[in-house]
Amino acid sequence: MSEYDESLTKICIEIVKLAGKLDTQAQSTFAQPATDQEIASWEQRNGVQIPEQYKSWLKITKNCRLFGGLLELSMPSITGGYYSNLVTDDLVVIGNMIGDGERICFVKATGEFVRYDHGGVRQMGNFENILYWALEFLRLSANEPMENVTFVAKYEWDRRVAVNGFWNHERELINQGKCTRGWNPDEMEEIMNISTETGNKRTQAVSPKVKAFGQSNVDENGFPIHYECHRIHEYWEYPDETADWRVCQALTPEEHMLGAHQFRK
């Protein structure tokens, strides 16, 4: 095992430990590792090299969803795949973060990692940085003492506050026999976020998987697609509303980017 692989494994162990501690708030899930054959087959089909750093992560888990959707990482979205239609052609989507439509990608030509936020692109640097971001966010959520907050910006925390607030309000509406869109029974049950182990509602409501004809919609890799929060007033234009759930609405990723934002390549 390389030094980088050992570093990723240590970070993953910390993340899993914290995720377990926070399970009463929101659940985290981790799939089995990707095999060398699965990774090689993906690269051959798409004619794109997955960055070595991300291959190392996929060999730990090929799909994970942290803390009810704070961070999702999976096998890359292929050309013509579900999430690839929501970003520019030079990018390959490997996940989502915060729950309001920000994608995690790598650049096809260079393998550089970037964050794609409604058309804006920010460099991530080393892939580990996004894991440290998630780890720091989990530590803050667990109220662990921290001398410095290095990776999580205040506006990112506030965006997640708004996302959480929206789904918590949606859960309350469902309790009252109301809702903001026509959820089916499976979606409502997911929003309620009841632990199968304890039978109790977790403290945080979460976004449900998109359902069609009673079946969960999945991307081209077979991973579930979740609803996300579209902000009617964007946080960079209305910073005072960044943490306000009342400016959010639940949309599928396609409804969000292709409909509300009318994204076109």
User: Is 151 in contact with 129 (CB distance < 8 Å)?
Assistant: yes
Q: How far is CA 207 from CA 79, 118, 170, in A?
A: 26, 19, 10
Name every residue whose Cβ is closer than 8 Å to that of residue 44 and which is 6 or more positions away in sequence.
none
Q: Domain range holding 110?
A: 3-137
Asked if residue 201 belongs to a domain, the reply is yes
pTM of the predicted protein model: 0.95
Work out how many domains the chain is built from and give that number: 2
Q: Which CATH number fits the domain that encloses residue 78?
A: 3.40.1580.10
Asked if residue 167 belongs to a domain, the reply is yes
Same domain membership, residue 202 and residue 112: no
User: Is 71 in contact with 97 (CB distance < 8 Å)?
Assistant: yes
Residue-wise pLDDT for 77-136, tens only, equals 988 899 999 999 999 999 999 999 999 999 999 999 999 999 999 999 999 999 999 999
Same domain membership, residue 221 and residue 115: no
Per-chain mean pLDDT for the chain: 95
Locate tokens 């632990």: which residue? 195
Asked if residue 142 belongs to a domain, the reply is no
Asked if residue 204 belongs to a domain, the reply is yes
Asked if residue 146 belongs to a domain, the reply is no
Same domain membership, residue 175 and residue 120: no
Same domain membership, residue 197 and residue 77: no
Boundary-marking domain end, from 88, 104, 137: 137
Asked if residue 143 belongs to a domain, the reply is no
Q: How much is the pLDDT for 213?
A: 65
3-state SS record for 202-224: CCCCCCCECEECCEECECCCCCE
Percent of the chain with pLDDT over 70: 99
Residue-wise pLDDT for 205-236, tens only, equals 999 999 876 677 899 999 999 999 999 988 99
Same domain membership, residue 104 and residue 24: yes
Same domain membership, residue 133 and residue 38: yes
Q: How much is the pLDDT for 65?
A: 98
Same domain membership, residue 163 and residue 252: yes
